[in-house]
Amino acid sequence: MTAADITGQPKRPPRKSDGQPATPKMLSDLDGLLKALPLGPDEQREENERTILTWLAGDEWAGTRGQVQTVTSQVESFISAAEGDVERAASDMWTRYAEVTGEHADA
């Protein structure tokens, strides 16, 4: 299952950079984006971040350039759709996660 299958977005060909590790700046930017979202209580935050990363990456999280670009783009889309309201973006993200996986996160 790919991120496109999970999120309902159109499939695109694999990125040439999928196997290359993301740069420290890419990872830092994604980390900052995730830290802006209320992803649950502190004791669950790390697990919730891993859940989001794996879900949006569409595969086991490895921190590749392709995964970071995909996840960053999708998180930004949730925030944009919520008009910058990070609480609503996180809520919408968990709602969509539950819809496509049949699982409910503990956020």
Tens of pLDDT, residues 53-71: 999 998 899 999 999 999 9
**How high is the pLDDT of residue 19?**
84
Q: Which amino acid is at 57?
A: A
Q: What are phi and psi of 21, to 5 degrees?
A: -65, 145
**How high is the pLDDT of residue 14?**
44
Report percent pLDDT > 90 for the chain: 72
* DSSP reduced 3-state for 43: helix
Q: Which amino acid is at 72?
A: T
Structure tokens at 86: 């990070």
